[in-house]
Structure 1
Amino acid sequence: MTDPIRHSKAREAELISDPDDLARQEAFNVLRQFSTVVEMVETFVLPARQPFRFRPSHMLHLHRAALEGISSYAGNFRPSAIEIGGSKHQPPPAHMVPEFIEELCDYVNEKWKEKSPLHLASYVMWKLNWIHPFTDGNGRTSRAAAYMILCTKLGYVLPGHRTIPDQIAENKTPYYKALEAADLAWNNGVIDLTAMKALLSSMLAEQLKAVHDDSGIGED
């Protein structure tokens, strides 16, 4: 049986109606968003900077990079309710989004020294999807933000061209299952990121393995 595909359901005026033009803009924005992640990490880990603080503006910046030219709400929180097709989770109402985003940032900042890079990235990946703060691009922004947090906490941009976000885009089913597992735990008042951490850990290993393979180690 095929797992249902999660997708946001919101009414919004189209900025691009031609499917080919839309595909080209989306492809361009994927590259732009990743470049934005790299620029942010490289800035945040500069020795002269103050200790990193995760802020709502970081998520809005990443969302704008992903949806600019596609959505009139690029870089802005959604103005109304939203549904996630293929999921039992009902995101919070629009007026509560800013508060939940602030709580997300507070958690990351308060746990920055205490928790591992994988834990913090997993939390951002799940919680941003749980809040679903945008009319579109929630998944793309959560994956970019989580990867940015992972790299920033590690202190460098991870090597490898098959990045964690790329791997998720190739096969989203395990990602959806990890989100649902965290949602189910949260319904019982528990933060349990076991499935998400396991997923990101395996994908991180795959990303770094690809670097090893590309290096030609073992050849004569």
Structure 2
Amino acid sequence: MASGPDKRDSRAFEPQLISDPVEKAEVEARNGLRQYDAGIATVQSALERGGCFRLRVSLILSLHREALQGLSMFAGNFRPAGVSIEGSAHTPPDSHIVPELVEEMCDYVNANWVDATSLHPGAYLMWRLNWIHPFADGNGRTSRILSYVVMSIKTGYVLPGTPTIPDQIVERRQPYFDALDAADRSWSEGRLDLSHGGASRQHARNPAP
């Protein structure tokens, strides 16, 4: 898949399961709908329990599986090796520490769930999941739906709008990339700043991992 100024692709050593671009696009479209439906089901389940929610690694893997089923041999699994991000200066961490980092990410969201605004966990997850880059492919798709799910649960209803927030981000990727890059820079300086591009700065009780 080609990259451009408005697109960033993960580069991992993985054989393609589908080589025909038309067929691949069709599967990606179907999987996108399945991933969205799975995300909405998660929101509705949490709201039926009065908004009771704990972010678990299993949810992240499940959402990734929906997006990459039939497209990647690692669908629903963490990447087994290193990965690079074309168009980004960030180098994701080695694969052997990915599970620990994802666990820490979930712990941070859960520890700050009560006091956080609805925007903060969504912005944090969208950045942190892309920073960890735990998958060989599909990191952006998974981070966007996960952010949407968490913000909807925290707000108390499925966030409205057509196109949806994840689709709006896809349609205008550059502000999304700029926000990720700004958060990466602040993190490299030893601080967490998610304020770029409209996300609110949040001083949580527990330091972000």
Structure 1 and Structure 2 fold alike (TM over 0.5): yes
Q: Secondary structure at the match of 1:126?
A: helix
Which residue is 1:61 aligned to? 62
- Please give the alpha-carbon distance, in whole angstroms, between the structure 1 residues aligned to 2:56 and 2:109: 10
Unpaired segments ≥5 residues, structure 1: 201-220
Cα contact 2:123–2:199 (8 A) shared by 1: no
CA contact (8 A) 1:34 1:144 kept: yes
Aligned to 2:78: 77
1:1-220 aligned within 5 A: 3=5, 5-47=7-49, 51-196=52-197, 198=198
Q: Which secondary structure does the structure 2 equivalent of 1:193 belong to? A: coil
Share of identical aligned residues, percent? 50
Q: Which runs of 5+ in 2 are unaligned?
A: 201-209
- Alignment partner, residue 209 of structure 1: none
- Provide the rounded CA distance (Å) in 2 between the counterparts of 1:37 and 1:4: 25
Matched position secondary structure for 1:99: helix
* 1:195 CA drift (Å): 1.2
Amino acid at match of 2:140: G
**Amino acid of the structure 2 residue aligned with 1:97:** V
Partners of 1:98 and 1:59 lie apart in 2 by 11
When the two structures are aligned, how many residues end up with a matched partner?
197
Task: Specify whether residues 48 and 124 from structure 1 end up closer, same or farther in structure 2 by C-alpha distance, changes over 3 A only.
Answer: closer
Q: Is the 8 A contact 1:174 1:199 kept in 2?
A: no
8 A contact 2:130–2:140 mirrored in 1? yes
Q: Aligned equivalents of 1:46 and 1:136: distance in 2?
A: 32
TM, length-normalised to structure 2? 0.90
Q: Residues 16-72 of structure 1: CA distance to partner in whole angstroms, max 9, x if unpaired?
A: 1111110100010111111111001001111368x3110111110100010001111
Alignment-mate amino acid for residue 32 of structure 2: V
Deviation, 1:155, is 1.5
Rounded Cα–Cα distance in structure 2 between residues aligned with 1:120 and 1:48 = 18
Matched to 1:195, the amino acid is H
Instruction: Specify which structure has the higher proportion of helix.
Output: 1
SS at match of 2:134: coil
1:186 corresponds to which letter in structure 2? W
SS of the residue 1:162 aligns to: coil
- Range moving further from structure 2, 35-44 or 155-164: 155-164
* Larger Rg over CA atoms: 1
- The CA distance in 1 between the partners of 2:6 and 2:140, in whole Å, is 15
Structure 1 moving runs of 4+ over 4 Å = none
User: What are the superposed Cα offsets for residues 163-216 of structure 1, whole Å, 9 maximum, x if unpaired?
Assistant: 1101111110000000000000000110100015x169xxxxxxxxxxxxxxxx
- Where relative contact order (Cα < 8 A, 6+ residues apart) is larger, the structure is 2
For the 8 Å contact 2:119–2:199, the answer to whether it is kept is: no
